[in-house]
Structure 1
Amino acid sequence: MVIVSVGLTYLAAEAAFAFGGLRYVPLRLHGHLPDDIRLFAQSSKAGVLPQNPVLLLGDSHAQGFGDWLLEINPDCNGPFHSAHVIQQLSGRDVVALGVSGAGSAEGMAAFPAIAYAQADRAWYLRLPKPDVAVVYFYEGNDLNNNISFLDRRVAHPDASKLAEQIDRSIAAYSPALSNDTGRALHFPLFRFLVSMIRQTWAEATGTLQVPASEEPAIPSGLPNAAEVAGKATELPGHLQSPALELTSEELERATLVYDRSLVFLQKLLPGTPVLVVYLPSPLSSYRLLGAEVSGQQYVPDTATRYPRQRVMEYSDAICRLIRTATVGHGAGFLDLRPAIRAASETAFVHGPRDFKHFNRRGMEVLGQAVAERINRPLIGGACSQGEN
């Protein structure tokens, strides 16, 4: 009877954790939640299980990185993300599947496929098919990540069959990234506690490996100049740019990875409307001054300083490439650059601590734009003509 009582008590605790407890896990402990469980602890929805959600896909911008996250109380589970803004303005549940460092193949294909494969096996915490999928495409490094995907996953690319090769690589990608937990999948509280116990033991025995600080370093180097609130001001040097170091051929190949990832996503979520939001890089977000800009280097042995005019030329060119691929597959397109540039005329939309991501003001602009757009038919959309 004791064994049965203990067992039933534990199962009751597991159920309480899954049905409601996840909502109260503070942000500082979210790292101990398994990847397939963490999304249910997000506070951008009414309950643990989302209902007819808006699904956010992409990299760290869809994950919610930025100064707003750095400023909030980590002992709570409060708002810090464009997802919270979308939920507040639209009244819809929002679930973010963004993963830092993801390119198109990861953020639009592999990680969503893993999430829904795990949902199919779960007993209760099942991610429902969304009402709409919103993809954050970030011009700052998504195409660089796509080039990396080609280098790592597509051996000996054949230009005439590159689309087919990418399709095969994407299809094989999610099984390669997935971590099968077996029956432990059904015990989220057990997995959560094991993770915390392991860290406590490592701290007590001095074997804890401390990760690098999550505090983003302000890029070094010669500063960039911009006009904000009518005054000339300095932006950090080596800012993320619209892939200034990539050639035209590389831009097209990287865009093809995005194109095939979108096709994969539409097959994964048949019938689900898709909206792609084009996010500008920091260098594309401000009215730049001076003859040259300082950009972050992703490709070794490439320049870090470029003519200022090249920023808008590349930003416009990439926007057109992504827009053409997007509307070609019947998805909606939203160019966020006009809204961000309008906001940056009066105040910073990045930093000051993390200049790679939007701060609270930038997140609010993004969330408002998405909330307004998903209430209209998700078809078409245009690129604005940038001026800088």
Structure 2
Amino acid sequence: MGKNAGLNALLALGSILLSFIAVEAVVERFLITRTPLKFAFALSDGVGLLAQSSKKGRLPQNYIALAGDSYAQGKGDWVFEADPNSNPPYHSAHLIQQRTGRDVISFGKRAVGSMRGLVVEPAARYRFVHDHIDSDLQPPEEIWAYFYAGNDLEDNLDELQQRFLRKHTLAELSDDRAVQAFFQDWIDHRSVGPYSSLTLNTGWLLKSTYKILGNTLKPAQDAELAPQQGVAAGDINRARIGEQTVALPDGLQGPALDLDDTQFEQGVAVFQASLRAMRALFPDAKVTVVYIPSVLEAYQVVSQQVSYADKLHPPVGSAATSRLWQNSNRLCRAVQSVVEAQRVRFIDTRPAIRAAAAQRSIHGPRDWKHFNQAGYQALVDGIVGQPATACATL
């Protein structure tokens, strides 16, 4: 009886696994783009690319790829407001698709710098989907690389210290062979599939189901989840919006206000090396670098001082408002210089963003680190159909 019970248990388990694999094949082929937003967290990064709804079908065709951090990923109040039981529009990828009629996918990943956001995530995810899910996936026709002024340099310094300088010298950041070897090693070890030790996609539905059930019992906390009631107005930051002077929250992100000259230059150098590496990995893609202003840059600040998020000396710092504009112009020009040296298209979205923010709040009220729907609309207005631009002077 014991042997029969054990055999029956194995047969039952095998039947369940085969059923999951059969259902998985159907979902992946025909239903993946209907994955509800509330379940998106449970998908592995590989199959999650197929689930994105800013394309006509399962695989994107002749598409634009977004690369960068949480701005490319689509964080912000719009996703909080979206119907979690469907897969609706909620960030710039959807607006770009609507405006251009082209498929758009996002390789964006929150809390990353240029190394991971521009190089590792796009290369690792593209390769995994092509090699282990569907070899019909082609490289992107265009890559729109988002540079976010609010924390990209700080995140670049983190990646420089925690990744690159462990095996390389600072001087090797200018050595293409060393940089390419560094990135290739990181890409090779970046787990994109459902099981970190296996380079296969089979079994993703089982893993996703396990994560969903686990989240039901103990809901996961998103590190960037905003408070339900929004962020309170602060005591320092004031901006002109419409016909009113409005109190903004304190501790908003600014353009590298917490960095000294050496740190600033190193952060830009990381961006420069990352852009070169991305272009080498996707040599046929037309690249556009999009400069996205930090939260403080977006508004017509009228207070004499600004309170900014200080990542190096948390939680907040303060500076003269004149320094805010100086840093904004300096950072934009530094990024433009890198981009133009590599003969890549550059767009400064600050004028479009500031024009929108002069009329209404384009961040929050819950998440003041990212755009709301109006902010993403302003961002896309500043990109789609626009020629390459030089940095405006604020």
Normalized against structure 2, the TM-score is what?
A: 0.87
Match of 2:340 among 327, 342, 353: 327
1:307-335 Cα deviation digits (max 9, x unpaired):
00111100110111100101111110000
- Indicate whether 1:155 and 2:162 are aligned: no
**Corresponding position of 2:75:** 65
Match of 2:185 among 166, 169, 172: 172
Q: What secondary structure, in the 3-state scheme, does the structure 1 residue paired with 2:309 have?
A: coil
Structure 1 residues 193 and 253: CA distance shift in structure 2, 3 A: same
Distance in 1 separating the partners of 2:187 and 2:298: 33
**Corresponding position of 1:83:** 93
Which residue identity lines up with residue 62 of structure 1 in the other structure? A
Compare 192-201 and 263-272 and name the one that shifted more.
192-201
Structure 1 residues 350 and 383: CA distance shift in structure 2, 3 A: same
Q: Is the 8 A contact 1:230 1:345 kept in 2?
A: no
Which residue identity lines up with residue 282 of structure 1 in the other structure? V
Structure 1 residues 171 and 359: CA distance shift in structure 2, 3 A: same
Which residue identity lines up with residue 66 of structure 1 in the other structure? G
Structure 1 residues 290 and 167: CA distance shift in structure 2, 3 A: same
**Corresponding position of 1:384:** 392
- Indicate whether 1:112 and 2:127 are aligned: no
Q: Is the 8 A contact 1:228 1:287 kept in 2?
A: yes
**Corresponding position of 2:140:** 130
Distance in 2 separating the partners of 1:83 and 1:328: 27
**Corresponding position of 1:101:** 111
Structure 1 residues 241 and 219: CA distance shift in structure 2, 3 A: farther
Once the two structures are TM-superposed, the CA of residue 102 in structure 1 deviates from its matched residue by 1.2
Distance in 2 separating the partners of 1:228 and 1:27: 33
- Indicate whether 1:232 and 2:230 are aligned: no
Distance in 2 separating the partners of 1:80 and 1:270: 30
- Indicate whether 1:366 and 2:376 are aligned: no
Once the two structures are TM-superposed, the CA of residue 383 in structure 1 deviates from its matched residue by 0.5
Distance in 1 separating the partners of 2:156 and 2:232: 23
5+ long unaligned stretches in structure 2: 1-10
- Indicate whether 1:252 and 2:265 are aligned: yes
Q: What secondary structure, in the 3-state scheme, does the structure 2 residue paired with 1:122 have?
A: helix
Once the two structures are TM-superposed, the CA of residue 153 in structure 1 deviates from its matched residue by 1.9
Normalized against structure 1, the TM-score is what?
A: 0.89
Distance in 2 separating the partners of 1:126 and 1:119: 9
Match of 1:215 among 197, 220, 225: 225
Distance in 1 separating the partners of 2:311 and 2:107: 25
Structure 1 residues 125 and 60: CA distance shift in structure 2, 3 A: farther
Q: What secondary structure, in the 3-state scheme, does the structure 2 residue paired with 1:21 have?
A: helix
Once the two structures are TM-superposed, the CA of residue 279 in structure 1 deviates from its matched residue by 0.2
Once the two structures are TM-superposed, the CA of residue 220 in structure 1 deviates from its matched residue by 7.7
1:14-59 Cα deviation digits (max 9, x unpaired):
3321222101110000111111111111111111111111000000
**Corresponding position of 2:7:** none
Structure 1 residues 292 and 40: CA distance shift in structure 2, 3 A: same
RMSD (Å), alpha carbons: 2.7
Once the two structures are TM-superposed, the CA of residue 196 in structure 1 deviates from its matched residue by 2.0
**Corresponding position of 2:254:** 241
Count of residues in Structure 1 that have an aligned counterpart in Structure 2:
375
Distance in 2 separating the partners of 1:303 and 1:212: 22
Identity %: 33
Which residue identity lines up with residue 323 of structure 1 in the other structure? Q
Compare 312-321 and 152-161 and name the one that shifted more.
152-161
Structure 1 residues 158 and 29: CA distance shift in structure 2, 3 A: closer
Q: What secondary structure, in the 3-state scheme, does the structure 1 residue paired with 2:393 have?
A: coil
